[in-house]
A = this chain, B = another copy of it.
Amino acid sequence: MPVTIKDIAKQTDVSHSTVSRALHGSPLIAKNTAERIRQTALELGYFPSAAARSLKTNRSQALGVIVSSVEDPFFSEILQGIEEVAQKSGYSLFMAASQRDPEREQAIVQAMSEHRVDGVIICSASFKAEQRRQFLAYGVPIVVVNNQAAEDYRYSIYHDDVDGSRQITRHLLDLGHRRIAYLGNSSSGRTTLDRLTGFQQEMDTAGLVVPPEHIHEVSGGGPEDGLAGLEHFLALSVRPSALVCFNDMLAIGVLKGLQQAGIQVPNEFSVTGFDNIVFSAFTNPPLTTFDQPKRFIGAEAARLVLELLNTPPAEDSSVQSQVRMLKGRLLVRETTALPAASSPRAPSPVLEPGLPRGNRDYPAGTGTTTRKS
């Protein structure tokens, strides 16, 4: 029903090929003919059919984004970064939520394959190898963001969780804490392992042994899971004096639990989060956390896919896989303090400037690593 180039051709008494070329600014067409054609195209309200074009060019001008849950504010911000870059480059986004359900994943892969997306960005922890293979089978560049066994994919961009967790832990150590515990989220794959690793590395360096009951995992990443996880630690005979939480949402649940239990934060107990989601600045007290450059991560992921699109499969055999690792920064707010009956060691490393939201977009501390695979 919409206007086609044939309609324009009739109107201007030329062939449809001439119209096609004119609209593409081909130098073959006479200046005034082209102008006339462009004019009537505008008048008729013409816009090209992406379907027809992608049939010929094998380019759909669309990227697929797979996320585990739209609701998660962490992914929302990454999505935002992706969206900005894609839109600026004239790409549209196919979005789908896997809900960590393999069946849905399968359906999503199918749908995106059918729509012949030019590239895919995966922000889902639980993405199965089988689905990935189907994508690769038809030769689409894939970039994974965080939360993934990066080694399985050729291109990935992620945040240096080990480093972040070390900074968080060191901050607590510097304050004088000795009995520090870790609360993980078993459903987020490698991410929780990396953060645990950073935690343990720093405890090792400080010469401290972490008893096994000071490491606990829950099966989700929401506030309610944090609430549940806290109970484990409160029931211990030797309670920790500080708790490093896998992410901000868990920490928010923990804060609520502590308040219900009548335990003062940070005077009696210190808590840290991870990610710096918007609301972490508005808890009571405001949450000490690690600021991941979420938007920037998303933007980088989008840039990487687009880059891969423009460098055709010049990948013969000695393929280079690219992994970009971004660093964030520690954000000291008010849920951490010296432990009860102890003396301070060192001052807070970074005081948060201005509005308590953290920066939204910064390339500081970015590192790119290229390695053979």
Given A87-B104, A96-B87, A110 and B282 contact (CB-CB distance below 8 Å): no
A2 touches B111 (CB 8 A): no
* Cα(A323)–Cα(B76), bound, Å: 29
A sample of 7 more A-B contacts (CB under 8 A), given A1-B139, A55-B55, A83-B95, is: A2-B138, A70-B80, A87-B104, A93-B96, A223-B281, A224-B355, A255-B284
Q: Contact at A48–B94, with CB atoms within 8 Å? A: no
Q: Taking CB as reference atom, which chain B residue is nearest A55? A: B51
**Which B residues touch A76, using CB under 8 A?**
70-71, 73, 76
Q: Which residue of B lies closest to A284 (CB)?
A: B284
CA distance A77 to B70 in the complex (A): 7
A79-B70 in contact (CB<8A): yes
State A61–B107 Cα separation when bound (angstroms).
14
Contacts of A73 in B (CB 8 A): 71, 73, 76
Residues of A77-116 at the interface with B, using a CB-CB cut-off of 8 Å, are 77, 79-80, 83, 87, 90, 92-97, 104, 107-108, 110-116
Cα-based distance from A289 to B48 in the complex (angstroms): 47
Taking each of A47, A54, A256, which has the highest tally of chain B beta carbons within 10 Å of its own beta carbon? A47
When C-beta atoms are compared, the residue in chain B nearest to A355 turns out to be B224
Give the number of chain A interface residues (Cβ < 8 Å).
Answer: 63
Least Cβ–Cβ distance between A131 and chain B, in angstroms: 13
Cβ–Cβ contact A80 & B58, under 8 A: no
Q: Does A347 contact B (CB under 8 A)?
A: no
Instruction: Decide if A234 is an interface residue (CB 8 Å cutoff).
Output: no
Assembly CA distance A256 to B259 (angstroms): 16
Is there a chain B Cβ closer than 8 Å to A50's Cβ? yes
A48-B114, A55-B52 in contact; A92/B96 too (CB < 8 A)?
A: yes
Are the CB atoms of A93 and B94 closer together than 8 Å?
yes
Smallest Cβ distance from A130 to chain B, in angstroms?
12
Query: Given the known A-B contacts A97-B83, A138-B2, are A47 and B283 also in contact in the complex, defined by CB atoms under 8 Å?
Result: no
A49 vs B53: C-alpha distance when bound (angstroms):
13
Chain B residues in 8 Å Cβ range of A357: 224
What's the Cα separation between A252 and B282 when bound, in Å? 7
Interface string of A206-229 (1 = CB under 8 A from B): 000000000000000011100000
Question: Per a CB cutoff under 8 Å, which of B77, B138, B256, B355 touches A284?
Answer: B256
Q: For residue A90, which residue of chain B has the nearest CB?
A: B111
Q: Which of B49, B224, B253, B282 contacts A114 (CB 8 A)?
A: B49
A235 at the interface (CB under 8 A from B): no
A58/B1 in contact, CB under 8 A: yes
* Cβ of A121 to closest chain B Cβ, rounded Å: 13
On whether the beta carbons of A110 and B77 are closer than 8 Å, the reply is no
Of chain B, the residue at the smallest CB distance from A294 is: B71
* Binary contact track A1-37/B, C-beta < 8 Å → 1, others 0: 1100000000000000000000000000000000000
List chain B residues, Cβ under 8 A from A115. 50-51, 62, 92
